[in-house]
Amino acid sequence: MHTYNIHDAKTQLSRLVEQAARGESFVIAKAGKPMVKVIALDSPSSLEIKRFGFMAGQISVPDDFDRMGDAAIATLFEDGQ
């Protein structure tokens, strides 16, 4: 991510706005200290990015999941002795 000082940001504002609209965010700094981050309005915020539970309701786990295949596994171990 590129950082621009306030003076450069003012002189290149149109180009920087187009850049942000394309999804290329940037930072504006004052005296070398980052002040703001400019991003496109339609970019997802960190609150909108959801990882856990994104398939909720789309997958079902059988009630006997932890016992599935017990007979086959028991047969495999018992037959080996």
Which CATH number does the domain housing residue 13 bear? Answer: 3.40.1620.10
| Structural domain includes residue 61 | yes
Q: Tell me what the mean pLDDT of segment 10-27 comes to.
A: 93
Tell me whether residue 7 is in a domain. yes
Residues 37-48, mean pLDDT to the nearest whole number: 74
Asked if residue 4 has pLDDT above 80, the reply is yes
The amino acid that residue 30 corresponds to is K
* Domain coverage including residue 61: 2-41+52-79
Q: Structural domain tally of the chain?
A: 1
Q: What percent of the residues of the chain are helix, what percent strand, and what percent coil, each to the nearest 5? A: 35, 20, 45
26: its two tokens = 């940037």
Mean pLDDT value across residues 4-18: 95
Strands, sheet with 2-5, edge to edge from the N-terminal-most edge strand? 2-5, 26-30, 33-38
> Does residue 47 sit within a domain?
no
Single out the residue of 46, 43, 39, 36 nearest to residue 20, CA to CA: 39
Q: Is the dihedral of CA 36, 37, 40, 45 positive or negative?
A: negative
- In this structure, is residue 46 part of a structural domain? no
74 inside domain:
yes
User: What's residue 57's pLDDT?
Assistant: 84
Percentage with pLDDT > 90 across the chain: 42
37 within some domain: yes
